[in-house]
Amino acid sequence: MRLNKFLAQAGIASRRESDRLIQSAMVTVNGVIESNPAYQVQPNDDIFYDNQRISIQSNTRIILLNKPNGYITTMKDPLKRKTVMDLVHTDERLFPIGRLDKDTTGLLLLTNDGQLANKLMHPRNRIPRIYKIEIDKTFQSWEVKRMATKIYIGQNEWGKAEVIEQKQIKGRATIFLKLYQGKKREVRRIIYRMKRKLFSLERIQYGPIKLGDIPMGGWRDVKPSELKSLNILTQ
């Protein structure tokens, strides 16, 4: 088994993030720093990450967090800012599946299963994410079609979003958007290109899992039926 896959199955991070951690000299094998993600782990290898011995997790655990505004999506922050890990009190090693911006609220999944996280985040699996946004006015029909096709969002990237529902109430519009990719700040970049003013951004659904009535800053374990649905989506 490759070292990056070992870290993922140990619940340290996704496969891609594990590559970065290994190359940053944060992993030792038998007391020696190993910077090659493709290193083949042997049965008797003693592997440490961040000065802690690690082993492969046997049971998958996923937590659903209602992320508040002002928290960054990372496990540790060198600047000592508030992170989502400050909200989840458990002895088990968990890490976020993807990211939500500091100013974005709502549904964030955390897990100990790097393999599942990697599958959920991979674009080819087209896992839908639904966002509730507040902007200054609704989209016209041609704008809805434009976003559903593709729209340039800068940095040589194209974004795409489906408008599920929209309604105008006085000076603000509530819009529900569905996206299938996880590009950095994609919703915000789309709204900027569509020349709208964004007041709030909340993720309310990830695949089959809905935020529901979890209080802000609260969390729960996903139900067995929800975990099964996620596994089916990534098969």
Instruction: Specify which residues 83 forms β-bridges with.
Output: 72
The tokens for 74 are 């990372």
Task: Tell me the one-letter amino acid at 215.
Answer: P
The CA distance from 203 to 144, in Å, is: 19
Q: Which of 45, 50, 101, 213 is catalytic?
A: 101
Active site residue 101: yes
Q: Spell out where 136-223 has E strands.
A: 151-154, 157-159, 162-169, 172-179, 198-206, 209-210, 219-221
Buried/exposed code over 144-175 (b: 16+ C-beta within 10 A; e: otherwise): bebbeeebebeeeeebbbebeebeeeeeebbb
Give CA angle at 198 (193, 201), nearest 5°. Answer: 110
Asked whether 29 and 3 are in contact (CB, 8 A), the reply is: yes
What residues are annotated to the active site? Answer: 101
